[in-house]
């Protein structure tokens, strides 16, 4: 029960004493409680809560002597802050006190009764800091404060955001993934073009930060980079980052960060682990989510079942008071998710040869395959009736276990050490797209770091960090399922293998039978060490130090072991006219062990040249070695037209030897009151050639892995004869090409920002943020193409289709990497925040921006390629357009609101009406761009992925927009486009001219806090209900 505790009965005299005491207690209990705490145990504790509240007799405490609270107040640089102001609020009875710090930066407050207090330290030019302190009857209390410079006076030109543990734990997060919090900051948007859980490109949620590519961000935990083998954001097999109860603080650096931050040219997302304290704290929780209140999906015929349990506990405390602290957190997830798959399959008429374009003779081998693996439509027919909708519902099953532990030890006032270990293991099992087999992928992540901080003098600090991050993942697993044909090798193309993969325009792709899917085994280990020295000398705050990272990237991959057929149309498919076949040649599997070293050093000077002006000057040098392979298994074509590849080192020349990165900025307080800050900056941020840029090319290139491809195959060659033609020639092996002398790949960032504190606790930030990328990676799936001729009408390929000669007739598919891409970003970023007390907050961010580039994918197979997976490389102007992850308008609102307890006359009224808490996250954003095109190889490009043909754009009264917004059946206005004449002429539609539908989402949480003071003042049983995708 909340409120004032009973006075000691020793103060009561006479026959009416007990009566007066009882009345005062009831009146006190109805006052609004000034602060709320929470500890979330499992729901099984609910009956105990009610018994403790209503049945436990009141305890009466004897009167005790007053105690003293003392401590010191320092800045983040370690220097003391004299004359700081201390505000002390008794959370039990609402009484308050204040004090002023001494010149030696210490403070002391006497005559405080035992109880629970909220202590706030503040000083001009610094952000106030609050701490909850419990003063016991048998001892004085100590509370030291470290104040950070006020954002309006912070002296930093970095554009960043900070979320505390309350934001992390109290906001409704779908899946309780802490990384989702980054999207609340301006300039940050989830890259919705990705397919989650693909594994080969990483599992985590990928984001674009201030226009940067998602693979150019850096994620950090306790100062150690935790990017994975694809240089993507970290995440489990389910795509989440568990352990929100273990996060003390969450930071997002979105533009122009200082010189001590490297390995990134996009943004930096960081989290720090919670630590133990002198007082024990912890929680126990279980979140149960099911489909009871779910709405039916647009494509669902019935609401699919859904059940997810997330449970766990965390605890922290001291093993040796004021010396050794321990914190631990465990979280388990058990999910069974209903998946509604919507497929496009051949209709009964098409299987009989009755196509809308005319009757055809269906090849019996194709018909056998179709009837075995493609169900008949159970929904409406599409378009002209050649295809129809088939839907089915199945389960995705996911178990996951996560835990982390942290220990801190203080050897002395000058020396302390801490260490963190994290473990996360998850698996996913789900049916394939046509429900023929069960697929899956696994992931295991481990993280270890040790940190040592040493005070070398009153204004000199040294911090050393050592960390290891390891990821083991397996993708492309297949298991037996309900369709026995998936395990029948009589459908196979490669001897001894099951049915090959088949791709036909307008039909859901068939991903093959059992054991024929491309699969990978990743073993990624990153070993890192950093040392930072901080000096304060006069008006200069200096930081400098070195850093090093050693990458051990072991991989094993098998590409299309059962073969992959590509057909140009449904007509050519039914009549058995395959366009191409790609397949692995049976040979010894060759694992690779890639190695690389990153070395860096920096110096940063934040010079307070005037009391209201700080100049930020930094220089970073960061280079990497060229990737090597432990057994010399590297292969590359020096020119696309080379007959044979170059084997061994070096893969490319090193473009990083001159990577000096200057970074300058300023922060100015024009009003000299700490409420307004004008800041700006410019910096250069390099993109290092890390293994993810090369891995897919190298894994599948001859001679260390033999995969062949053949084009323009004869009629009737599916499924067996095409493979015989493929293996008969030695000129069909897959090769890799990289530009041998790449230019330095870097991004220039700049910003100009104004921040103002409108009212107490209400701040507004408005800024312009821009960047330009130079020598960005440009990846193409197949560079072995037929080159066109430039005519006044556009690029024209030889006629008839397929008559041209590819660049390298001596090779098959050539995956290629160039470093001549460009990117441009300009945005208005706005953020408003309102702090209400110590428990409630409102925040909103808005971004109006545009990202233009000549290609958004960084690696072969990258999902950031939207409609064009193999962009043309001979003229970058053909590729210039909106980035695949561009979101022009993005609005995010979030809040946590603790409702006050209304005045009442009964304890039951306090319990029923008090303790309520609301949380919400709202998002509204425009859609991502895409490019409509023609299926198949109508131009005669000769590529194994020839999706580069686009239509001509027509003008007309109804073509001001190219889409029918809100119409899911006919979203594209096809009447605004035409087929070029001749057919081998590429159309004039630009890349990413159209945009998909926008996103509108609202997540809501309602919680009831029930404080059980018979256990302790901080013991809370919280019941919470959360609603996701409410709009």
Query: Which pLDDT value is given to residue 611?
Result: 87
Show the CA angle centred on residue 459, arms to residues 458 and 461, nearest 5°: 100
| C-alpha span between 876 and 238 (Å, rounded) | 37
Q: Are 600 and 621 in contact (CB under 8 A)?
A: yes
Closest to 592 (Cα-Cα) out of 691, 515, 689: 691
User: Which residues lie below 8 Å from residue 643, measured CB to CB, with a gap of 6+?
Assistant: 808, 810
Domain boundaries, the chain: 67-148
d(CA 185, CA 250): 11
Residues 665-702 as b/e (b if ≥16 CB within 10 A, e otherwise) read: bbbbbeeeebbbbbbbbbbbbbbbbbbbbbbbbbbbbb
Low-confidence ranges of the chain (pLDDT < 70): 1-66, 76-79, 92-94, 124-125, 137-139, 149-155, 193-198, 298-301, 588, 730, 863-866, 904-906
**What local confidence, expressed as pLDDT, does residue 130 receive?**
83
Whole-number Å distance between alpha carbons of 754 and 539: 24
Q: Is there a cis peptide before residue 163, judged by omega within 30 degrees of 0?
A: no
pLDDT at 66: 63
The tokens for 715 are: 């009629």
Q: Is residue 310 within 8 Å of residue 1026, measured between CB atoms?
A: no
- In whole angstroms, what is the distance from residue 15 CA to residue 27 CA? 20
CA–CA dist 798, 788 (Å, integer): 7
1010 contacts 1021 by C-beta, under 8 angstroms: yes
CA torsion angle 334 336 337 338 (round to 10): -170
Phi and psi angles of residue 386, each rounded to the nearest 5 degrees, phi first:
-75, -25
The answer to whether residues 25 and 8 touch, using CB atoms and an 8 Å cutoff, is no
> What is the rounded (10 degree) CA torsion for 152, 153, 157, 159?
-40
Sign of the torsion angle spanned by Cα atoms 927, 929, 932, 938: negative
- Token pair, residue 283, equals 């929680």
- Under 8 Å CB-to-CB from 526, ≥6 apart: which residues? 225, 227, 468, 469, 470, 549, 550, 551, 552
Architecture of the domain delimited by 67-148: Sandwich (2.60)
Q: Which of 944, 366, 947, 949 is nearest to 711 (CA)?
A: 944
Enter the DSSP assignment of 733. Answer: B
Measure the CA–CA gap between 356 and 22, rounded to whole angstroms.
88
Cα separation, 510 vs 504, in Å, equals 9
**760 burial type by CB count under 10 A (0-12 exposed, 13-18 middle, 19+ buried):** exposed
pLDDT the model gives residue 50: 33
Q: What is the 3-state secondary structure (H, E, C) of 679-705?
A: EEEEEEEECCCCHHHCHHHHHCCCCCC
Under 8 Å between Cβ of 161 and 251:
yes
Report the distance separating Cα 582 and Cα 709, nearest Å. 4
How many CA atoms lie less than 13 Å away from 751 in the CB half-sphere?
33
Bridge partners of 1006, per DSSP, are 918, 1025
What is the 3-class SS of 437-449, one letter each residue?
CEEEEEEEEEEEE
The answer to whether the beta carbons of residues 951 and 931 sit under 8 Å apart is: no
Instruction: With residue 112 as reference, give the H or E element that holds it.
Output: strand 106-112
DSSP letter at 953 equals E
Question: Reduced to 3 states, what is the DSSP secondary structure of residue 47?
Answer: helix
pLDDT of residue 625: 98
* Joined tokens for residue 543: 């930081």
In this structure, what token pair is assigned to residue 455?
A: 């005070």
pLDDT at 277: 87
Q: What is the pTM of this model?
A: 0.84
**Long-range CB contacts (within 8 A, 24+) of 19-26:** 26/905, 26/906, 26/907
CB 211 within 8 A of CB 771: yes
Tokens representing 378 are 């159970």
pLDDT, residue 77, reads: 56
Per the CB < 8 A criterion, the answer to whether 747 and 216 are in contact is yes
């Amino acid at each position: 029960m909340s409120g004032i505790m009973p006075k000691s009965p020793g103060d009561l005299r006479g026959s009416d004493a007990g009566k007066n005491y009882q009345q005062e207690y009831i009146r006190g209990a109805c006052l609004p409680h000034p602060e709320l705490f929470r500890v979330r145990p499992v729901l099984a504790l609910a009956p105990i809560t009610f018994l403790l509240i209503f049945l436990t007799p009141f305890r009466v405490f004897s009167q005790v002597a007053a105690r003293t609270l003392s401590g010191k107040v320092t800045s983040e640089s370690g220097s003391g802050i004299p004359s700081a102001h201390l505000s002390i609020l008794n959370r039990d009875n609402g009484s308050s006190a204040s004090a002023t710090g001494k010149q030696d930066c210490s403070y002391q407050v006497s005559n405080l009764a035992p109880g629970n207090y909220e202590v706030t330290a503040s000083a001009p030019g610094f952000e106030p800091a609050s701490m909850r302190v419990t003063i016991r009857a048998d001892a004085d209390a100590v509370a030291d404060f470290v104040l950070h410079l006020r954002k309006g006076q912070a002296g930093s030109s970095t554009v960043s955001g900070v979320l505390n543990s309350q934001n992390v734990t109290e906001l409704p997060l779908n899946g309780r993934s802490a990384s989702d919090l980054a999207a609340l900051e301006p300039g940050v948007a989830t890259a919705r073009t990705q397919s989650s859980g693909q594994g080969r490109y990483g599992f985590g949620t990928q984001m674009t930060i201030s226009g940067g590519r998602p693979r150019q961000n850096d994620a950090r935990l306790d100062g150690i980079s935790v990017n994975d083998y694809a240089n993507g954001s970290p995440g489990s097999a389910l795509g989440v980052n568990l352990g929100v109860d273990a996060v003390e603080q969450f930071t997002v650096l979105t533009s122009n960060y200082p010189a001590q931050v490297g390995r990134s040219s996009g943004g930096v997302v960081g989290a720090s682990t919670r630590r133990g304290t002198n007082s024990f704290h912890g929680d126990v929780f279980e979140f149960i989510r099911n489909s009871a209140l779910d709405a039916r999906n647009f494509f669902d015929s019935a609401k699919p079942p859904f059940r997810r349990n997330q449970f766990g506990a965390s605890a922290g405390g001291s093993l040796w008071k004021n010396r050794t602290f321990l914190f631990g957190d465990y979280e388990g997830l058990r999910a069974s998710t209903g998946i509604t798959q919507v497929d496009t399959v051949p209709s009964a008429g098409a299987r009989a040869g009755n196509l809308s374009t005319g009757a055809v003779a269906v090849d019996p081998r194709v018909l056998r395959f179709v009837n075995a693996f493609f169900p008949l439509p159970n929904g409406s027919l599409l378009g002209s009736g050649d295809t129809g909708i088939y839907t089915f519902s199945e389960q995705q099953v996911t178990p996951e276990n996560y835990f982390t532990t942290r220990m801190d030890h203080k050897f002395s006032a000058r020396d302390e050490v801490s260490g963190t270990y994290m473990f996360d293991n998850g698996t996913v099992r789900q049916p394939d797209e046509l429900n023929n087999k069960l697929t899956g992928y696994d992931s295991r992540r481990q993280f270890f770091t040790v940190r040592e901080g040493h005070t070398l003098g009153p204004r000199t600090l040294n911090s050393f960090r050592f960390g290891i991050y390891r990821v083991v993942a397996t993708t492309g697993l297949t298991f037996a399922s309900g369709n026995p044909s998936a395990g029948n090798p009589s459908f196979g193309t490669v001897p001894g293998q099951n049915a090959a993969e088949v791709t036909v325009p307008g039909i859901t792709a068939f991903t093959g039978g059992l054991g024929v899917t491309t699969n990978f085994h990743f073993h990624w280990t990153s070993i890192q060490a950093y040392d930072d020295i901080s000096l304060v000398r006069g008006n200069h705050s200096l930081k400098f130090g070195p850093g090093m990272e050693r990458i051990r990237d072991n991989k094993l991959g098998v590409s299309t072991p059962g073969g992959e057929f590509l057909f140009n149309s449904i007509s050519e498919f039914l009549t058995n006219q395959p366009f191409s076949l790609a397949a692995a040649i049976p040979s010894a599997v060759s694992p690779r062990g890639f190695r690389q070293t990153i070395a860096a050093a920096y110096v940063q000077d934040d010079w307070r040249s005037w009391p209201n002006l700080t100049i930020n000057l930094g220089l970073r040098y960061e280079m990497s070695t060229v990737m090597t392979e432990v057994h010399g298994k590297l292969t590359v074509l020096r020119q696309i037209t080379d007959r044979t590849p170059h084997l061994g080192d070096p893969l490319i020349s090193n473009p990083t030897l001159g990577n000096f990165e200057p970074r300058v900025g300023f922060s100015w307080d024009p009003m000299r009151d700490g409420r307004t800050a004008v800041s700006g900056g410019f910096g250069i941020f390099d993109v290092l050639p890390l293994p993810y840029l090369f891995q897919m090319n190298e894994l599948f290139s001859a001679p260390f892995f033999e995969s062949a491809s053949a084009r323009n195959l004869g009629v009737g060659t599916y499924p067996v004869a095409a493979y015989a033609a493929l293996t008969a020639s030695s000129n069909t092996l897959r090769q890799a090409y990289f530009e041998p002398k790449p230019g330095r790949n870097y991004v220039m960032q700049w910003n100009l920002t104004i921040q103002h504190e409108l009212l107490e606790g209400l701040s507004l930030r408005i800024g312009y943020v821009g960047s330009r990328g130079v020598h960005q990676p440009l990846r193409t799936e197949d560079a072995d193409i037929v080159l066109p001729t430039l005519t006044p009408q556009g690029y024209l390929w030889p006629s008839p289709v397929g008559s041209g000669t590819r660049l390298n007739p001596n090779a098959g598919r050539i995956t290629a990497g160039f470093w001549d891409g460009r990117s441009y970003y300009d945005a208005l970023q706005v953020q408003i925040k309102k702090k209400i007390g110590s428990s409630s907050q409102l925040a909103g961010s808005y971004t109006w921006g545009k990202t233009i580039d000549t290609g958004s994918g960084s690696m072969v197979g990258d999902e950031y390629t939207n409609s064009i997976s193999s962009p043309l490389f001979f003229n970058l102007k053909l590729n210039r357009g909106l980035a695949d992850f561009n979101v022009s308008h993005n609005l995010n609102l979030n809040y946590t609101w603790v409702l006050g307890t209304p005045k009442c006359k009964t304890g039951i009224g306090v319990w029923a009406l008090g303790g309520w808490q609301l949380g919400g996250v709202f998002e509204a954003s425009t859609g991502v761009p895409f490019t409509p095109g023609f299926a198949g190889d109508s131009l005669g490009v000769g590529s194994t992925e020839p999706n580069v043909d686009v239509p001509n754009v027509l003008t007309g009264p109804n073509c001001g927009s190219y889409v029918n917004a809100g119409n899911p059946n006919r979203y594209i206005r096809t009447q605004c486009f035409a087929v070029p004449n001749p057919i081998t002429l590429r159309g004039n539609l630009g890349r990413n001219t159209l945009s998909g539908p926008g996103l509108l989402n609202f997540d809501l949480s309602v919680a009831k806090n029930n404080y059980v003071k018979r256990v302790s003042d901080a013991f809370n049983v919280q019941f919470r209900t959360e609603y996701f995708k409410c709009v």
